[in-house]
Structures are given as structure tokens and as C-alpha cells.
Amino acid sequence: MDLSLFFAGTAGSVPSARRGLPAVLVRRGGDRLLFDCGEGTQRQLLRSVGLLELDSVFITHFHADHWLGLPGMLKSFALRERAEPLSVYGPPGLKELMAVMRVVYGRLPYELGIAELAPAETVQRDGYLVAAVPVHHKGQACYGYAIVEESRPGHLDPVLAEKLGVTPGRDFGRLQRGETVDGVRPEQVMGPAREGRKLVISGDSTPCEALAVAAHQADVLVHEATFLHEEAERAAQTLHSTARQAAELARDAQVRLLALTHVSSRHAGGELREEARAIFANTEVVRDFDTIHVPFPERGAATLERWSDRLARTVKGTPPVTAHPGGHIPCGGAPPTGTRTGRQAGEHAQAPAAETPAEQAGAPESPAPPPGEPVASS
Ligand SMILES: [Zn+2]
Ligand SMILES: [Zn+2]
């Protein structure tokens, strides 16, 4: 089962020449979940992977940089006669916001579900859940989200199973599904259950306990880093985080990979990365259209694929990536930190599906933003 994060926008508060406003697309198998939908998100998607048929949109909070792209996107889905239902989740207040947006998107030909989540409430999906994590930021209710897979069955020992009289094939499958076969119980031939993967997205937040708990041993923590530590006072005033604070949280929570985003237009990204890596080596600052592939842990660590590398791969017609493709950057250049229990080697994870970029031109490798842009704080 492939699992990845695609960053449609990595700016904070205001877009810059090279970064769009926040939106992260999580793909798991055939599921497509969007976390935040800043202004311009649908165009960011059209310029990269295409405006996909999303299942759900999760809004972290109601600062305009995190949702202003939603009404236009709902309208675009309507204009192309989408029939599948779409669910929008967010903190209390979402219904009121959507009612205001209705003026923009009008009547929709598809079913639009709107659900306000209570703090720590979970949305159950097929094989995983999405949990609302109450974070600490300006506004009445602000969430991060944790995407947590169910644990997987352990490995079946085929030699032992045969020795106990089970015929390979169909009966092995029954044992793996938890059935007893000819008196042989699954626990006699199956190894311990293996943990699923966990992704955590901070939304906007000052470092907080709820986020640290949710991020414990996460495969990937996507954390905002609006400021450098020399701006810590400003970060505290606006209830944002510095790169160093995000790295300290990642280190303490033993996450495997930290991806920094919500980058202020005052920063290019490298300085945030260096500050964070001094605390937590396995840190990347993501750029627009980057992808993080998250294989099952026994297949290797999460890897960052830069958009430019993906374009080059697509142009050359090289095969889709696996856990350690040549075009991937080993995240942070360091081994993953933290040890998770209950994981064993040997599972065959699927390679992520290769999607042809909708437009190969226009990669976001534009020059660094001009100096002196306003301080981001939303
Ligand atoms: Zn923001
Ligand atoms: Zn905000």
C-alpha cells in the first residue's frame, strides 16, 4: 500500500514567488486527502499532479491562508460535473464558514459533507484513521491532524504451518485472516502484529504537548517553521514555531523524519534547515511540489523526492520509484532516529504509482523572493 505526502503549497501567511499557500495532499492507495486548501491550491495542483478527485478536505484552522482556495475548488469540481461525494472536516466553526462560502460556490451537483470535529475526535477510514489534534495557535480552535494506520498482521511461518499439516495456498490465507484451520490457530504460526505508519501534520502552532504526544514515533512529522530562533519573540507573540522549536519537538517525540513547511517569505529555506538540523539531523525543508514517500518501515525510511527530480524522471521515462530510488534524497542524510516496536522485515510494499505531471513546464524553481517582504504571521 503506497503512502505519500505531496506538498502543493509550502508558504506561510502570504504566497511568495516560489511558494504557494498551505496544502498537503496525502495519498494512500486510492485515497486522496487534502490538508488545508490555501488560495491558489487548485492551480498549484493543476500545475503539478492535476486536480485530483479528492475524497476529503481537512482544514486545520480558519486563518485565510489555510482555506481560501476551497470555494473555488468546490466550484471547479461542480463545473466538471463531479458526482462523487466530498467531505470537508475542520474545527468547530467550519459550518459557519462554509455557509459564508456558499455564496461563492453555489449549488453543487455532488454531495458535500461538512463535519466539525471535536478535539481528539477521529475519522475512521478503511485501514486507518485521521485524528484531530488540538494545537496551540491564535483562534478559537486550531487542529493538527494525525493519520494513523491500523496495525498489520504478523508474518506467517510457512514451514511451521506446513509441519502442522496446513496446506499452502488458500488455507494459509485463512490463517492470515484469523481463522483456525484444521485445529491450527493463527497465533501458533503467525508472528506478532506489526505497527502501521503514522503521519502527523501540525497546522499552525507553537510547540505544544498534544502535538508532541500525537507525533510520538511518527514516520513523518510535517511541522510549521514560520520563524528562525532569532525571531523567537515574534513566534511566541503570534503562536507560531521556530525551526529550532520544531526540531526539538521532533527529537523529543522520536519522529523518523521532520518536514518543515509554512515558510515565511522572509526565508529561503536553507537557514531554517540548518537551524533545525543542528538539533534533529533528519530534517528537510520542503518546497512546492515535493513528495515524501513513506514505505512500510521494513522497506526503508521515508524519502523526499524533489519536484525537479521527479520531472527529470518523468521526462526520461524512467520507471516509478521504489523505497530507495536514485532520484530520492535520503532525508537528512542521516539514519532514522527512534526505534518503533513490533515491526519486522519482509513485507512487500507497493511502489507508489507514478503520475504524469499535468504540465512539465513551470517547475517552481524560480529565483529567491525579494528581500524585505512582510513578516508572515497567520
Ligand atoms: Zn498559516
Ligand atoms: Zn494561522
Residue 281: Cβ within 10 Å count: 17
Contact 272, 285 (CB under 8 A): yes
Active-site residue, from 31, 36, 65, 290 = 65
Whole-number Å distance, alpha carbon 184 to ligand 1 midpoint, is 55
Whole-number Å distance, alpha carbon 378 to ligand 2 midpoint, is 4
Cβ neighbours of residue 89 closer than 8 Å, sequence gap 6 or more: 56, 57, 58, 59, 115, 116, 117, 123, 130, 132
Q: Among all ligands shown, which has an atom nearest to the Cα of 14?
A: 1
Looking at the chain, the domain(s) classified CATH 3.60.15.10 span: 3-152+193-333
Whole-number Å distance, alpha carbon 40 to ligand 1 midpoint, is 14
Tell me the three cell numbers of residue 121. Answer: 475526535
Tell me the three cell numbers of residue 220. Answer: 513523518
CA distances from 7 to 22, 41, 48, 120, 141 (A): 8, 10, 10, 24, 24
d(CA 38, CA 373): 19
Whole-number Å distance, alpha carbon 63 to ligand 2 midpoint, is 5
Terminal CA-CA length for the chain: 35
Q: Which CATH class is domain 3-152+193-333?
A: alpha beta
Model's pTM, two decimal places?
0.82
Tell me phi and psi for residue 275, to 5 degrees. Answer: -60, -45
- Cell 502535538 locates to 211
| C-alpha 78: how far from chain center | 26
Would you call 31 a catalytic residue per the annotation?
no
Whole-number Å distance, alpha carbon 309 to ligand 1 midpoint, is 28
Q: Among all ligands shown, which has an atom nearest to the Cα of 205?
A: 2
Contact 10, 225 (CB under 8 A): no
d(CA 122, CA 149): 12
CA distances from 72 to 47, 68, 83, 104 (A): 16, 8, 17, 8
* pLDDT of the chain, 378 residues: tens digit per residue: 999 999 999 999 999 999 999 999 999 999 999 999 999 999 999 999 999 999 999 999 999 999 999 999 999 999 999 999 999 999 999 999 999 999 989 999 999 999 999 999 999 999 999 999 999 999 889 999 999 999 988 899 999 999 999 999 999 999 988 899 999 999 999 998 899 999 999 999 999 999 999 999 999 999 999 999 999 999 999 999 999 999 999 999 999 999 999 999 999 999 999 999 999 999 999 999 999 999 998 899 999 999 999 998 887 766 555 444 334 554 443 333 333 433 333 333 333 333 334 433 333 333 333 333 444 456
